[in-house]
A and B are shown apart, each in its own frame.
Chain A
Amino acid sequence: MTRKLLTGNGAAAWGARLAQTDYIPAFPITPQTEIIEDLSIWIDNGDMPARMVTMESEHSMITAAGGAASSGVRVFTATSSQGLLHGMEMVYTVAGWRVPFVMVNVSRGLSSPITLESDHNDIMAARDSGFLQIHCSTCQEITDSVLMAYRLAEHKDVRVPAIVNLDGFYLSFTREPVELPDTEKAAAFVGEFDPENLQFKGSAPLSQAMAVLGGGPYSYFRYEAHLAVERALSVYDEIADEFADTFGRRYDIIDNYKMDDAEYVFVMVGSFATKAHDAVDSLRQAGWKVGLARLRIFRPFPQEKIRQLLKGRRAVAVIDQNISMGMGGVLHSEFATALYGIKDAPAVLASFIGGLGGRDISQQEFFEMINEIKQACDKGVSPAPRLLYTQNELTEIRNLQAIAHAEHAEIQQKKD
């Protein structure tokens, strides 16, 4: 087995290539562009027998992806941040069509203010759309997840599109060793796309833009989509087993690290989990029973697995790399929902918001989060939600504000 160094973007492109993708509607956006660059070079060189069309926007791109999937071909596309938001109308629409394809999202914080760096508010905005969501923490996982995502999305019990998410910069531009699955084995694992009755062509008309009035029919279609997304949980377990048998790498719905006897638990998604992995090791050396539960499948949300995993633990630190204005961390509230009312639920479920706009989380901060939840346990009260933010960072913003508000301050002075 040979491994090679690939960026997260490169790993995503390899996933699309190994999945024998037929059609790629594309639109570039930082930090995703390298994915479509790689694919276009392969297509140009004849290494990949696919068709790529660059569209005029993400709105058209996602429409084209859904439209092409309806005609029975295997579709891949990729976007990020504002691009995902620009296409959001069609994200919901094509998910409602119940057409399977895979879209990679390279996570990047949303405007305003504008940033290029990563956080998860973009992907969280697609949370309720009907797309499945797989969140990656390494470059290896990206290639592997794209392959698994096709199996999951195309499964006849599921048949909805899937998003594979990777963090901008921390994965997108970072090279790590990746063992590329063998081309034939990958093709055999993903298999031929069986589009069932999705065979739109001239002689086989298909309308996916129908209107339903009165609410009854609408409720039926929406709830069926919900049930299909939920069904992806049990289907995923089978696919993960087969993937592990074929390629020797196992990816569970929740990636657990040192959870067996853990009293204190980090809960999170994404690439910062590898940092938490290191922190768990250091904290264990210091005598703390700490574990890490990284959620890989975020939609469907594995409520029952979470309950089984977390009951009886002393305290949980949920790290959200996103913020729902007026509520706080999205993961935190979803975990609270999952754990509400169950016997032996952890006494402390603390919310930490960190890593917004690519802001790093240091090892010391991981240590301190565990220290805080332990103290909270001893006192028996959950701590207030905390933004990971230091005095130095506030000083930095004060310096910038002094420049940004200079003229305004002068005008005010004159008025007074």
Chain B
Amino acid sequence: MFRIRFHGRGGQGMKTASRILGTAFFMQDYEVQDAPRYGAERRGAPIFAYVRADKTAVNERGIISHPDLVVVSDDTLVGMPAAGVMQGIDQHTVLLINSHENADTWQHRLNTQATIIILPAKEEVEDRAELPYIGSQCAAAAAALSNVISKDTFTRALTEELEHLGNEIIKQNLKVALTAFDAISSHAGIIKESTRPSATDYLKPEWIDLPFENAEISAPAIHSGATSVEVRTGLWRTMRPVINYEKCSGCWWICSTYCPDGAINVRDDNLPDIDYDHCKGCLVCVAQCPPHAIESIPEHLAKEQELSGVTS
């Protein structure tokens, strides 16, 4: 059985990718199961979807815990634990990353035994939530790697899944998707289908008897304040608002009031300060600032600058 997981950000079309690939396998006479995993359900937030395909009925269900192939549309997610990209990856897994960097760099960075293949990233876009056609490219690359889906079948699958978007959009998607298909073809057949766990030799589940605990401990209540701070929603951001303090008039209240997430604080000197751990990058502040003192820059560029020690 093929077990394939797609990871991306809301808006990048991972559900669509899983559906295109699922339909392609199905047209190629495979039994198929595909499903998205809804989480934050917000643009930019990590999302994943998965596909199972086999020659006999697919009886497995739920999240794929040991994938044969993991496809990542946005390389900023790879190192983000909350995105779960690396979950269940071992030496038999193929990790396909859409990236400007090469496989050696990723191999070194991740220190993983998985096989890493790079889907060469197209020209960069400002807002990664709008990466054009990336879902179709990921589906095409996965199809090519499987080595059981022909280009013709893939074309028919994509056309069927995107039918509601009209011919022009299908054409554009096909163009980039088939290029990705060709670019990855040299690795065709690299995915190793994994087998089912055996009942003769299996790891026993570490079951425990749940102890009795008083309501003081066991009631589902949160007694400490501001625990939402622990959730780094800033990771969902694909565009970053940056305050130009030379232009900021110090009105102090407009951006901080309009921020729907309370992620703009006011400092002692009455200047606003953006909390990047929690700013989701909606850019309402950019639109509201009267002297236009807040600009937006691509988050992935900001990250790269931070990594190379250049402060913005």
Which residues of A line the B interface, CB within 8 A?
Answer: 5, 7, 112-113, 116, 169-170, 173-177, 271-272, 274-275, 277-279, 281-283, 285-286, 288, 360, 362-365, 367-368, 386-392, 394, 401, 403-408
Contact = CB atoms under 8 A, between A and B. Distances in A.
Nearest to A365: B205
**Which residue of A5, A281, A286 has the most chain B CB atoms within 10 A of its CB atom?**
A5
Give the interface size class of chain B: 35 or more
**Which residue of A112, A272, A365, A404 has the most chain B CB atoms within 10 A of its CB atom?**
A404
A393 to B, nearest CB: 8
Nearest to B18: A175
A389 B60 CA distance: 20
**Which residue of B19, B22, B35, B217 has the most chain A CB atoms within 10 A of its CB atom?**
B35
A111 to B, nearest CB: 9
B154 to A, nearest CB: 15
A255 to B, nearest CB: 13
Contact of A404 (B34, B35, B224): B224
Interface string B226-259: 0100100000000000000000000000000000
B32 interface: yes
The 10 A-B residue pairs with the shortest CB-CB distance in the complex, in nearest-first order = A407-B224, A408-B223, A286-B199, A113-B220, A274-B59, A282-B199, A406-B224, A174-B35, A404-B222, A286-B200
Contact of B23 (A5, A176, A404): A5
14 contacts: A170-B62, A174-B61, A175-B33, A274-B60, A362-B65, A362-B197, A364-B205, A365-B205, A367-B199, A390-B205, A391-B206, A403-B227, A404-B224, A408-B223
B310 interface: no
A364 B204 contact: yes
Interface of B: 19, 22-23, 26, 31-36, 38, 58-63, 65, 196-200, 202-210, 217, 220-225, 227, 230
Contacts of A363: 196-197, 199, 202
B4 to A, nearest CB: 14
B208 A394 contact: yes
Contacts, number: 120
Nearest to A277: B59
Nearest to B51: A175
Contacts of B31: 177
Contacts of B38: 116, 173
A52 to B, nearest CB: 21
Contacts of A170: 61-62
A390 B206 contact: yes
A372 B63 CA distance: 26
B15 to A, nearest CB: 9
Contacts of A389: 207-208, 210
Contacts of A116: 38
Nearest to B31: A177
Contacts of B225: 407
A285 B224 contact: no
A414 to B, nearest CB: 14
Given A175-B22, A177-B26, A283 B199 contact: yes
Contacts of B65: 360, 362
B197 A5 contact: no
Given A175-B22, A176-B58, A282 B224 contact: no
B223 A405 contact: yes
Contacts of A173: 35-36, 38
Contacts of B205: 362, 364-365, 368, 388, 390
B197 A404 contact: no
B149 to A, nearest CB: 15
Contacts of A283: 199
B59 A175 contact: no
B17 to A, nearest CB: 13
A408 B35 contact: no
Contacts of B203: 364
A282 B198 contact: yes
B34 to A, nearest CB: 5
A343 B255 CA distance: 77
B63 A174 contact: no
Nearest to B57: A274
Given A285-B199, A387-B210, A390-B208, A405 B224 contact: yes
B34 A5 contact: yes
Nearest to A410: B224
B224 A403 contact: yes
Contact of B196 (A278, A388, A392, A404): A278
